[in-house]
Structure 1
Amino acid sequence: MTPPATAPAPTTAAAPATGAAGEAWRVGVLFSRSGPTSVTETEHFLGTELAIAEINGAGGVLGRPIVPVVHDPGGDSGEYRALARRMLAEDDVSVIFGGSMSASRKAVLPIVERYNGLLFYPSMYEGFEYGENILYIGATLNQTIFPLADWLMARGARRVHLLGADYVFPRESNRVMRDLVESRGGEITGERHLPLLASPEAIAAEMEEVARLAPDVVFSTLVGRTAREFYRLYDAAGIDRHARPIASLTMAETEMREIGVAKCDGHVLAATYFSGLPGAENADFVRRFRDRFGPDATPTTWSEPAYLQVHLFARALAEAGSMDPRRLSDAALGLEMRAPGGPVRMDPETRHMWLTPRIGVARSDGGFDLAWTADRPVRPDPWLAVTRFEEAWTAAPV
């Protein structure tokens, strides 16, 4: 995974159907660059675009370019469903890179199954799912919440408040965090779920409740605009963020800039990638990302898995020699490679990735100090079948 630094931009223009030698490999790209989650989904889009450009600049796959067919569903689950159907039924596409929120994945997956396509899904998510027509690239809860809960409680955070958006990822994530905290003798001070586009009054009311309860930490699974507004209100309330932070699985470098980095230092993120990771491989990735998207662009835990998914696809396609979803899947399962976030492996049993969990504490310059890193990649356990709630999490594979 060390392609050239510069490459021609991918195009969304029509291309010949795959089949004959020299024709293009058409793929769907389905992320919301508008709507309530536009910031993070644009990060997905940029990581995907960079990887496609680099692969094409290096000669494509088996001598053929990857040509993306791009649609923007605007954060609407109905549009995700309709556009996935259009791609698979009309756009001569059998592979889609897309979906961000679990609601969008749930909308797209039945369509992908009906048309026998293959979905690469790059987001961290709640787990408890398996599909023969999907490859899960993002982290599962045993790679995020389990180390986060232990790290927080080891530092004295015994009283935890749960605040999330009202859909499956926040509800399942908060359920697991509750079990972890209570199994370790901690206390949940409250749990609330707000609409994805909550009103300013509703967000302010939740902030007042948090200030009244004074938990040691707020575990936030809010997303998009609502999350950013809550972080601003937390700063305005004057709470010592280093003593009583917000901890999340999603609030990364780009969104912190949207909030204002001086309002975010001290907050905690559990993720498998940070832009400030040490090592020449990540430094080269950051440089290539900025060469393409500008000197202020920063790759995040949203863009790096999206970048990884395309390189995984390209490796599988080179082996399979076909866009047939079954053959691509079979070629991808068990693949190992180097990613900017470290070594990864597509687990053949679960169709999820072995990844390296990390915990970062935000700085006032918009970056993160790495507070903890697992000593090796951790096996995904999307159903929490072998990861135990009543024992301290371990960095060793389960």
Structure 2
Amino acid sequence: MLGTGLATLLASTAYAQDETIKVGVLHSLSGTMAISETTLKDTVVMLVEEQNKKGGLLGKQLEAVVVDPASDWPLFAEKARELLTVNEVDVIFGGWTSVSRKSVLPVIEELNGLMFYPVQYEGEESSKNVFYTGAAPNQQAIPAVDYFLDELGVEKFALLGTDYVYPRTTNNILEAYLGSKGIAADDIFVNYTPFGHSDWSKIVADVKALGADGKKVGVISTINGDANVGFYKELAAAGISADDIPVVAFSVGEEELSGLDTSNLVGHLAAWNYFQSAESPVNDEFVAAWKAKMGEERVTNDPMEATYIGFNMWVSAVTEAGTTDVDTVEKAMIGQTFPNLTGTEAEMLPNHHLTKPVLIGEIQADGQFDIISQTEPVAGDAWTDFLPESAVLESDWKDLGCGMYNTETKTCVQLKSNY
């Protein structure tokens, strides 16, 4: 039997835990991905503080619970389990690489947690327990290829990626898409390198050689993390300018450029759904708040905007539901709308993806982007139309209650078989 003092202590501890709504933050603060993910941790902490200044949520204050999975993919699963079972968080904001998300998925589905994933990814997934606030391929990769084809006249493509699921799946989709556009397989060069790769001399030489026949070459980059530093340095060392061989990157934004000498990168491109240079009153306010808190030298970027939209939609859904219960909030999330930072409106779709505008930005000498192309919001597609096995699939958690519905067999397939 517990002593009176211990019983009182345990009761008061349990009561204290109930006094806050816990927000898990699952981003790498060390290792190769810290260059990108630390900023997202800072973003969630800022949003939590701002929400608390507004009075919190459901009459309670929010509490950010930060862990460091250290760019170690299995550790993401362990830390997610720790957040859900030990810290008992109500929601998780986290992940950057798809391999980290894939690591978390079985855990979060087993424990019925709720996760917001804020980075562009390869698609080919739709979990009831995840909201994907970054871009699907039809909201980034495919429009970027179209820009190369239609605006720059690129005839040969070098698909350079870090060796994990996001670049490999994205490039499979892009190879199929380029084939549908009449690009021959021999005119597509594909190469993968490990995380943290630093010696780019041979790969850059191979890319340069691709244009020996006089055809225009373009690089589609799914290189992630600090490997980008060496890649862009080697381009400059080889004397390759954006006029010679343009690069469009899917994982390089303002944060990554802030650590580079951008003088030799001017004219290269990135495809995102937001840039700090976007002109809108709501973006001016967001950038000002960020710099006031973090310092004038700190920049904003696309995954920050995706975090901002997801966080505010979650607050609205919890408020509407009157609870943080995962199943109730998941239903309330579908159909939520919130202004994005580029001046239009984001909507959460039944497939747990957002509507997002597609932006192409050109790198400037100051590390910012000149927005040279912008679309109206595009609905995110969980399953691509350019892979035969995916073209027949549909995700609809509202009416079908399924993330992987086969429209030919009229059956719901279990996504877990893909883990």
Residue segments in structure 1 that go unaligned for 5+ positions in a row: 1-13, 389-398
* Alpha-carbon distance, 1:15 to partner: 8.8
More displaced 10-residue stretch of structure 1: 105-114 or 237-246:
237-246
Corresponding residue number in structure 1 for 2:190: 191
User: Is 1:219 equivalent to 2:216 in the alignment?
Assistant: no
* Alpha-carbon distance, 1:330 to partner: 0.9
Corresponding residue number in structure 1 for 2:107: 111
Query: Does the 8 Å contact 2:58/2:323 carry over to 1?
Result: no
Corresponding residue number in structure 1 for 2:379: 379
Corresponding residue number in structure 2 for 1:5: none
> In structure 1, how many angstroms separate the alpha carbons of the residues matched to 2:387 and 2:75?
36
Query: Does the 8 Å contact 2:122/2:137 carry over to 1?
Result: yes
Query: Does the 8 Å contact 1:41/1:302 carry over to 2?
Result: no
* Alpha-carbon distance, 1:249 to partner: 1.1
Deviations 1:327-369 (A, max 9, x none): 1111111101112133100002x11111111111111111111
Query: Does the 8 Å contact 1:112/1:133 carry over to 2?
Result: yes
Tell me how large the CA RMSD over aligned residues is: 1.8
More RCO (CA 8 Å, sep 6+): 1
* Alpha-carbon distance, 1:221 to partner: 0.8
Q: 1:127 to 1:334 in 2, by over 3 A?
A: same
Matches within 5 A, 1:166-181: 166-181=163-178
> In structure 2, how many angstroms separate the alpha carbons of the residues matched to 1:355 and 1:17?
37
More displaced 10-residue stretch of structure 1: 41-50 or 154-163:
41-50
TM-score by length of 2: 0.84
User: Is 1:47 equivalent to 2:43 in the alignment?
Assistant: yes
User: Is 1:346 equivalent to 2:343 in the alignment?
Assistant: no
* Alpha-carbon distance, 1:43 to partner: 2.3
Query: Does the 8 Å contact 2:176/2:387 carry over to 1?
Result: no
Matches within 5 A, 1:276-355: 276-341=277-342, 342-348=344-350, 350-355=351-356
Corresponding residue number in structure 1 for 2:71: 75
* Alpha-carbon distance, 1:33 to partner: 1.4
More displaced 10-residue stretch of structure 1: 261-270 or 107-116:
261-270
> In structure 2, how many angstroms separate the alpha carbons of the residues matched to 1:15 and 1:295?
40
TM-score by length of 1: 0.88
Query: Does the 8 Å contact 1:248/1:270 carry over to 2?
Result: yes
> In structure 1, how many angstroms separate the alpha carbons of the residues matched to 2:243 and 2:46?
35
Corresponding residue number in structure 2 for 1:366: 367
Corresponding residue number in structure 2 for 1:396: none
Query: Does the 8 Å contact 1:45/1:303 carry over to 2?
Result: no
Q: Read off the aligned partner of 1:383 and give its amino acid letter.
A: W
Corresponding residue number in structure 1 for 2:24: 28
Query: Does the 8 Å contact 1:47/1:305 carry over to 2?
Result: no
Corresponding residue number in structure 1 for 2:408: none
* TM superposition outliers: structure 1 runs of 4+ over 6 Å: none
Number of equivalences = 367
Deviations 1:314-336 (A, max 9, x none): 11111112121101111111101
Q: Read off the aligned partner of 1:158 and give its amino acid letter.
A: E
Query: Does the 8 Å contact 1:126/1:173 carry over to 2?
Result: yes
Residue segments in structure 2 that go unaligned for 5+ positions in a row: 1-13, 389-419
Q: Which of the residues 61, 65, 83 maps onto 2:61?
A: 65
* Alpha-carbon distance, 1:208 to partner: 2.1
Q: Read off the aligned partner of 2:293 and give its amino acid letter.
A: R
Q: 1:377 to 1:15 in 2, by over 3 A?
A: farther
Query: Does the 8 Å contact 2:277/2:369 carry over to 1?
Result: yes
User: Is 1:267 equivalent to 2:264 in the alignment?
Assistant: no
Q: 1:193 to 1:386 in 2, by over 3 A?
A: closer
* Alpha-carbon distance, 1:309 to partner: 1.7
Query: Does the 8 Å contact 1:35/1:74 carry over to 2?
Result: yes
Q: Which structure has the bigger radius of gyration?
A: 2
> In structure 1, how many angstroms separate the alpha carbons of the residues matched to 2:233 and 2:163?
20
* Alpha-carbon distance, 1:294 to partner: 0.4
Corresponding residue number in structure 1 for 2:246: 245
> In structure 1, how many angstroms separate the alpha carbons of the residues matched to 2:315 and 2:38?
22
More displaced 10-residue stretch of structure 1: 184-193 or 87-96:
184-193
Query: Does the 8 Å contact 2:25/2:94 carry over to 1?
Result: yes
